[in-house]
Amino acid sequence: MEFSKVVLADNEIPRQWYNIQADLPTPMRPPLHPGTGKPVGPDDLAPVFPMNLIEQEVSTQRWIDIPEEVLEKYLIWRPSPLCRARNFEKLLNAPVKIYYKNEGVSPPGSHKPNTAVPQAYYNKVFGIKRLSTETGAGQWGSALSMACQMFGLECRVFMVKVSYEQKPYRRLMMGAWGAECIPSPSNRTQAGRKILEADPDCPGSLGIAISEAIEDAVMDPQARYSLGSVLNHVLLHQSIIGLEAQKQFEKIGEYPDVVLGCAGGGSNFAGISLPYVRDKIHGKNVSIVAAEPASCPTLTRGPFAYDFGDTAMTTPLLAMYTLGHDFLPEPIHAGGLRYHGMAPIVSHLAKEGMIEARAFNQLETFSAGVKWARSEGFIPAPETNHVIAAVVQEAERAKQEGKEKVILFNWSGHGIIDLPAYDAFLSGKLVQHELGDEEIKRALKSIEGYPKP
Ligand SMILES: Cc1ncc(COP(=O)(O)O)c(C=O)c1O
């Protein structure tokens, strides 16, 4: 009998995270202090993050031990299975084997708790009482709510208003895990009030919600801010996905030709791909592809530039692909992909040609997601549909080229509480949005005159 999934036993879970910063062939540009234009030091970040996480953020140590307390929580759902999508393969009828890491098996239903749990743990150890954060689709907010509950921390979540309205069940999950969830922009912060004065109907964006959450955290000495993507330590924690996949592939004697993930801030894509980027640096022939939305095409249409991570310009300047910090993406259903920037590590790898990016429009992603649901059964999150569209494209290319390919992708989360988005697609209400060059040019004006990386 041919197998359908490869599982690791509890005692085979990786005990260290992988830090790509130890292996980069060229150095990354440092984050800059917007006032001085000089690289930021750990002390500049201290009001926002606990020092133990700041140390991870700047670390160049290749392997970082996963604390026992974190492993114990990971074991609730990890190691996640490596599955073979045989039914989807049949449907596509191409010379490909398709494997995926199912990150939808976590309690909140996505990859997000892989970093939420260690972030809550390190804050707790540092003596912090409350975490403040933002959330797009609600996946991150729900993951951090659960993680805070696990370690006895309070949690406040600023949720992008359009998602707050479209996705009530995620905020209900946050409530079930004991967190407070506030639609953003809100009048709780100066950043939110300023936006609401200019546009009372503003649908919100991740950039705005980040500004609110940071402001909320720095005003309270007992609180710190927590980010669900973009930063180096987040990508570090997510590396457990790719490390498990490598162990699982070893068991079946296979190696992927292509590794793919969808990219919002870059964390699940990095999580599955960074251990493979390491192999690539050491000579392996593997393609690594990020799938992003055509209505927020950071890697495919943005410049590599210094920009703020948030709309209110409170973060350090990060060297990344960006559409400009006041770029307001269309309210597409994949709320978790509506971010103007991209993780500096992912951006650096794209700039160096180690990874490539492709953009997909909302309709083709849902069409791919529905094909998946009708063959493999699991209903993917709207964000995950982007990578599934990229897998369909890879399979078509393999068919045209007459080449056999082993595909590995990250199934970043399930969509069973995103069903209104499927309803909109199936009833023909979901629209195709074309993003004009003018719109991008206008948003990029906000970073004119910034230091050049
Ligand atoms: C299921 C799912 N996939 C992907 C993403 C995108 O985030 P990232 O690029 O950090 O993985 C999100 C964000 O909320 C998500 O919920």
169 lies in the same domain as 317? no
Q: 332-381: per-residue pLDDT in tens?
A: 788 778 889 999 999 999 999 999 999 999 999 999 999 999 999 999 99
Q: In this structure, what token pair is assigned to residue 41?
A: 């030091």
78 lies in the same domain as 184? no
pLDDT at residue 125 tops 80:
yes
Amino acid 452: pLDDT:
94
248 lies in the same domain as 351? yes
Distance separating alpha carbons of residues 392 and 187, to the nearest angstrom: 43
Q: Report the DSSP pairing between strands 16-18 and 63-65.
A: antiparallel
255 lies in the same domain as 348? yes
CA 357 to ligand 1 centroid distance, Å: 16
Amino acid 419: pLDDT:
93
CA 1 to ligand 1 centroid distance, Å: 35
223 lies in the same domain as 301? no
CA 385 to ligand 1 centroid distance, Å: 11
102 lies in the same domain as 250? yes
Helices (H), 402-450: 419-426, 437-444
64: in domain: no
- Mean pLDDT for all residues in the chain: 96
Q: What is the mean pLDDT of residues 129-148?
A: 95
412: in domain: yes
395 lies in the same domain as 258? yes
91: in domain: yes
- Domains of the chain: total: 2
pTM value surpassing 0.75: yes
Choosing from 178, 200, 227, the residue where a domain stops is 227
277: in domain: yes
Q: Which residues line ligand 1 (CB under 6 A)?
A: 110, 136-137, 139-140, 229, 262-269, 336-337, 381, 383-384, 412-413
The domain of 209 spans 113-227
Measured from the Cα of 381, ligand 1's closest atom is 1
Q: 278-305: per-residue pLDDT in tens?
A: 999 999 999 999 999 999 999 999 999 9
190 lies in the same domain as 265? no
Comparing 227-236, 251-260, 307-316, which segment has the lowest mean pLDDT? 307-316
CA 278 to ligand 1 centroid distance, Å: 22
332 lies in the same domain as 185? no
171 lies in the same domain as 249? no
Q: 241-277: per-residue pLDDT in tens?
A: 999 999 999 999 999 999 999 999 999 999 999 999 9
DSSP 352: T
Q: Report the DSSP pairing between strands 287-293 and 130-135.
A: unpaired
CA 216 to ligand 1 centroid distance, Å: 23
Full DSSP string of 82-108: EEE-HHHHHHHTSSEEEEEEEGGGSTT
Nearest residue to 161 via CA among 201, 112, 213, 217: 201
The residue whose C-alpha atom lies closest to atom 14 belonging to ligand 1 is 336
Candidates 158, 262, 347, 387: which one to mutate for ligand 1, based on the most atoms within 8 Å of Cβ?
Answer: 262
Amino acid 251: pLDDT:
96
22: in domain: no
Q: In this structure, what token pair is assigned to residue 285?
A: 């022939």
Choosing from 200, 227, 254, the residue where a domain stops is 227
The residue whose C-alpha atom lies closest to atom 12 belonging to ligand 1 is 336
Sheet (strand 258-262) strand order? 5-6, 82-84, 96-102, 405-411, 258-262, 287-293, 356-360
Please name every residue paired with 411 in a beta bridge, in sequence order, or none if there are none.
Answer: 102
201: in domain: yes
280: in domain: yes
Choosing from 199, 227, 255, the residue where a domain stops is 227
Candidates 114, 115, 133, 139: which one to mutate for ligand 1, based on the most atoms within 8 Å of Cβ?
Answer: 139
Residue 216: how many other CB atoms lie within 10 Å? 23
Does residue 55 sit in helix, strand or coil?
helix
Q: Which amino acid is at 156?
A: R
The residue whose C-alpha atom lies closest to atom 13 belonging to ligand 1 is 336
286: in domain: yes
188 lies in the same domain as 258? no
300 lies in the same domain as 411? yes
Distance separating alpha carbons of residues 396 and 377, to the nearest angstrom: 22
Q: Given the structure tokens 């083709």, which residue do they identify?
A: 364
Contact 100, 189 (CB under 8 A): no
Distance separating alpha carbons of residues 3 and 211, to the nearest angstrom: 47
Distance separating alpha carbons of residues 409 and 100, to the nearest angstrom: 5
pLDDT band at residue 395 under the 50/70/90 scheme = very high
CATH code for position 163: 3.40.50.1100
